[in-house]
Structure 1
Amino acid sequence: MVMKDNSNITILKEIAELLNEETEMIPMLHGALSKFLNGTNFKTGWIFFINDKGKAELVAHENLPEALQYNECEHLKTGGCWCVSRYRNNELKKASNIIECQRIEAALEANVGDPAGITHHATVPLQSGDERFGILNVASANTVSFSDEELELLESVAFQMGSAIKRIYLTKQEQEIALVQERNRLARDLHDSVNQLLFSVTLTARAGIEMSEQQEIKETFKEIQQLTQSALTEMRALIWQLRPKGLESGLIEAIKAYAEMLNINLTVHVSGVIQFPSRIEETLFRIAQEALNNVRKHAGVQEAALYMNVTPTDILLVIKDEGRGFIIDNELNIPSIGLQSIKDRANAVGGTADIVSEIGKGTELLIRLPY
């Protein structure tokens, strides 16, 4: 195969400029892949991210033929293949020609569209130093093998993309650290100012009750005390949301402590090993917080149950109460900002959130998250 008029240096320069400018992962991958295909005789390409457990996720693709696009890239997303297996076994070290691809073969056998002459592909790992992220695959019509020059160019592009992926990950980590620091600052400020003021009002109201002789004045101070105590509970819950206490001791212990702070008797049932990435752990904690807040505010009961089942691929979290419940109309928006927040948090990490409720029969929240 002969390269297009663009020199390799020009292609690498253009891709480097795009990678340096882009700050979002998926647009960066699409843009770099598109530029690479436009600057060479490679016609199509796709990228898998592969996690520490070897699970492959199709995160970007460009110019796929009809057969590989079928049903939202069904045949690329399922089944096994040589390149992913070699990557998992740490045997894929450089750009290589693939003799056969089970995913492409499955699409051809299914006869679900025009394959545009794509039968084989080249593959290269995406990495930065010793840190690996996934693989980049590229292919051309009626081509079963690529030249050493083409594979060298593919390696160079993969190296650039791996460095950019690492940079974006590091940037996200820095942003998360800055966000945590800001949350901690706000939590300290709220605790040292508003929280203390509310506590002082509670003490003042209690003194007013004891010192007053007129019943009407006593009742007024009692109402002030109750309202202030409710506000104090809300403030403590807000501080918890900004700065989770106890999460360093484990997810379940942190959830139990939060329930205790809300005066909710929480029974917990766990199966499987609780060991998640930090983002999944915080998502589960935030979802549990919101669910327990809803129990306290709306269920009319002080008891709830939490069930967590952990498998090698996903987590099922169930939080249920035997409270007053509510009517769910699937044609209308979710009746609570809190419930919408739960759905948004689950969706943000590729999970789902379902709510089952009936008047007088309580509410059940079912969360499923991949990890």
Structure 2
Amino acid sequence: MSVEAGYEEIGILKEIAELLNEGTDTKAVLSGVLKKLLHVTGLQTGWIFLIDEHGEHQLIADAALPPALVNNQKQRMCQGKCWCVNKYNNRQLNKASNIMECKRIEEAIEEDAGETCGLTHHATVPLRAGQERFGILNVGAPNKTHFEKNELALLEAVAYQIGTALKRIKLTQREQETALVAERNRLARDLHDSVNQLLFSLSLTARAGVEMTQTDEVKQTFSYIQDLAQEALGEMRALIWQLRPQGLENGLVSALRSYANMLGLSIETTVTGAASIPGKVEEALWRIGQEALANCKKHSQTTAAALFFQASKDGVKMTIKDSGCGFHYDENLEIPSLGLKNMKARTEALNGTFQLKSKSGSGTEINIQIPF
């Protein structure tokens, strides 16, 4: 390699390193790096798959894919298996691999799925940081059937940088989640020690006022104040529970059962299966369960609810239902309330499915399914 070529490669790595250090949004960072890599190397097409511990891949970034791979919202890239993903999952892909025929392109040609723009092969590089693996980087160009050693070395260097950045982003997100939990705990303590105690004192004072006065109108006023204070205390305790659920360390179902009891609901729970639930999934199910039980308390005109929870190595299913008044709901129309929309959004943010069933006079049922 000439001195000029060496300086050029160092410059490329420097520019890419700067991009990788700029943000914490995985999709935005990888899209920017991929475009920069293709621009400085003169290659035309590239894509990045993130691959989870179950071997399932996600198309996280792509650039200049031929029409045959873009059609149907890139369905061909998002589904199915291919040789590079299989090699990665079988741990046969440990360094930059020269030219690999693209199974997705071959299938597109066989099915006459659209123009492939001369792309038939690609180089494949695993993304990793130490022993931790994240996915693969694929790059290619029309009619290119060979990568030189220096090209593969550059791709491998970039892949190492991407892997390190992905680990940094993962750690940053974990730190942010930890900080969020700490802030919730602090706020819950502050509310309990200040506002909660003030409301309790107000309730006691109003009760004393009722007992001390002889005037009916004043008694009614103090009674009204006491009722308001008690209602506010209930709302405050529910808010503190939402911020810092006591008992979640004993399991999600136990926490939801305790929350239902605090709301004054009797709840029947059925649990099947056992699995270690990721923190994000447990947090989402906890928030969804809280909202569902609160809705039951406020709107169902019943004090009984049922919780069904099923866990497996592939995911969890949770159902919360009541036999209350229900409401008219058409699955083809928009979800009617903000609380229900939030439940659906939390579920879908984790690639889960949300289903709502309700009819006037027949109760309400919420089904959540989240894979992991």
Both proteins in one fold, TM over 0.5: yes
> May I ask how many residue pairs the two structures share in their alignment?
368
- Measure, in 1, the Cα distance between the counterparts of 2:299 and 2:102: 55
Larger deviation, residues 235-244 vs 213-222:
213-222
- Measure, in 1, the Cα distance between the counterparts of 2:317 and 2:16: 41
- Measure, in 1, the Cα distance between the counterparts of 2:66 and 2:103: 16
Kindly provide the amino acid, as one letter, of the partner of residue 41 in structure 1.
G
Kindly provide the amino acid, as one letter, of the partner of residue 56 in structure 1.
H
* TM-fit CA distance, 1:209: 4.4
Q: For residues 14-65 of structure 1, what are the alpha-carbon distances to aligned partners after superposition, in whole Å with 9 as ceiling and x for unaligned?
A: 1112112223211100000000011113221111111122221111111111
* TM-fit CA distance, 1:78: 1.8
Matched, 1:45 2:46: yes
Q: Which residue of 2 aligns with 1:144?
A: 145
Aligned residues with identical type, % of pairs? 53
Larger deviation, residues 223-232 vs 282-291:
223-232
* TM-fit CA distance, 1:5: 12
- Measure, in 1, the Cα distance between the counterparts of 2:263 and 2:336: 22
Q: Mark the CA change 1:365 to 1:61 in structure 2 (over 3 Å): closer, same or farther.
A: same
**TM-score, normalised on structure 2?**
0.91
Larger deviation, residues 220-229 vs 243-252:
220-229
Q: Mark the CA change 1:35 to 1:185 in structure 2 (over 3 Å): closer, same or farther.
A: same
Larger deviation, residues 350-359 vs 176-185:
350-359
| Matched position secondary structure for 2:55 | coil
Larger deviation, residues 234-243 vs 330-339:
330-339
Larger deviation, residues 37-46 vs 138-147:
138-147
| Matched position secondary structure for 1:21 | coil
Q: Is there any run of 5+ residues in structure 1 with no aligned partner, and where?
A: none
* TM-fit CA distance, 1:324: 1.7
* TM-fit CA distance, 1:219: 4.7
* TM-fit CA distance, 1:349: 2.1
Q: Which residue of 2 aligns with 1:244?
A: 245
Q: For residues 241-282 of structure 1, what are the alpha-carbon distances to aligned partners after superposition, in whole Å with 9 as ceiling and x for unaligned?
A: 111222222222222221122121122223332322111110
Decide whether the 8 Å contact of 1:75 with 1:106 is kept in 2.
Answer: no
Decide whether the 8 Å contact of 1:76 with 1:104 is kept in 2.
Answer: no
Correspondence list, 1:254-269, <5 A: 254-269=255-270
* TM-fit CA distance, 1:186: 0.6
Matched, 1:370 2:363: no
Decide whether the 8 Å contact of 2:347 with 2:353 is kept in 1.
Answer: yes
| Matched position secondary structure for 1:121 | strand
Q: Which residue of 1 aligns with 2:301?
A: 300
* TM-fit CA distance, 1:129: 1.7
Kindly provide the amino acid, as one letter, of the partner of residue 74 in structure 1.
Q
* TM-fit CA distance, 1:222: 4.0
* TM-fit CA distance, 1:289: 0.8
Correspondence list, 1:165-180, <5 A: 165-180=166-181
Correspondence list, 1:179-218, <5 A: 179-211=180-212, 217-218=218-219
Decide whether the 8 Å contact of 2:100 with 2:124 is kept in 1.
Answer: no
Decide whether the 8 Å contact of 1:67 with 1:114 is kept in 2.
Answer: yes
Correspondence list, 1:23-34, <5 A: 23-34=24-35
Q: Mark the CA change 1:245 to 1:37 in structure 2 (over 3 Å): closer, same or farther.
A: same
* TM-fit CA distance, 1:94: 0.8
Q: Which residue of 1 aligns with 2:285?
A: 284
Decide whether the 8 Å contact of 1:78 with 1:103 is kept in 2.
Answer: no
* TM-fit CA distance, 1:91: 2.9
Kindly provide the amino acid, as one letter, of the partner of residue 114 in structure 1.
E
* TM-fit CA distance, 1:217: 4.9
Q: Mark the CA change 1:13 to 1:214 in structure 2 (over 3 Å): closer, same or farther.
A: same
Q: Which residue of 2 aligns with 1:155?
A: 156
* TM-fit CA distance, 1:87: 2.0
- Measure, in 2, the Cα distance between the counterparts of 1:242 and 1:295: 20
Q: Which residue of 2 aligns with 1:131?
A: 132
Q: Which residue of 2 aligns with 1:348?
A: 349
Q: Which residue of 2 aligns with 1:319?
A: 320
- Measure, in 2, the Cα distance between the counterparts of 1:68 and 1:54: 21
Correspondence list, 1:53-132, <5 A: 53-132=54-133
* TM-fit CA distance, 1:238: 0.6
| Matched position secondary structure for 1:180 | helix
Kindly provide the amino acid, as one letter, of the partner of residue 289 in structure 1.
Q
Kindly provide the amino acid, as one letter, of the partner of residue 247 in structure 1.
L
